[in-house]
Amino acid sequence: MKGKFITFEGGEGSGKSSALAYISNRLKEEGIPFVLTREPGGTKISEEIRDIILDKANTEMDPMTEALLYAAARRQHLVQLVYPKLNEGINVISDRFLDSSLAYQGGARGLGIQKIYDLNLYATDGFLPDLTLLFDLDPETGLKRISANENREVNRLDLEKLNFHKTVRKNFLKLAQKFPKRIKIIDASLTPEQVREEAFKAIIDVLK
Ligand code: TYD
pLDDT tens across 49-94, in order? 999 999 989 999 999 999 999 999 999 999 999 999 999 999 999 9
CA of 202 to the centre of ligand 1 (A): 23
Under-70 pLDDT residues of the chain: 157
CA pair distance 120, 99, nearest whole angstrom? 10
Strand partners, 183: 132
Averaged confidence pLDDT in the chain: 95
Torsion, CA 95, CA 129, CA 174, CA 18, rounded to 10: -30
Stated as kind and residue range, the H or E segment containing 92 is strand 91-95
Residue 48 to residues 40, 100, 176: CA-CA distances in angstroms? 9, 19, 30
> Which phi and psi (to 5°) does residue 5 adopt?
-110, 120
CA of 81 to the centre of ligand 1 (A): 19
| Cβ burial 129-155 (10 Å sphere, 16+ → b, else e) | bbbbbbbbbbbeebbebeeeeeeeeee
Predicted pLDDT at 159? 74
Predicted pLDDT at 157? 67
CA of 58 to the centre of ligand 1 (A): 16
Ligand 1 atom closest to the CA of 38, numbered from 1: 3
* Angle in degrees, CA 55, 7, 60, rounded to 5: 20
> Which phi and psi (to 5°) does residue 64 adopt?
-75, -35
Residue 172 CA from chain centroid, whole number: 10
CA of 100 to the centre of ligand 1 (A): 7
> Which phi and psi (to 5°) does residue 31 adopt?
70, 25
Ligand 1 atom closest to the CA of 17, numbered from 1: 6
Kindly report the protein residue whose alpha carbon is nearest to atom 17 of ligand 1.
100
Report the residue count for the chain: 208
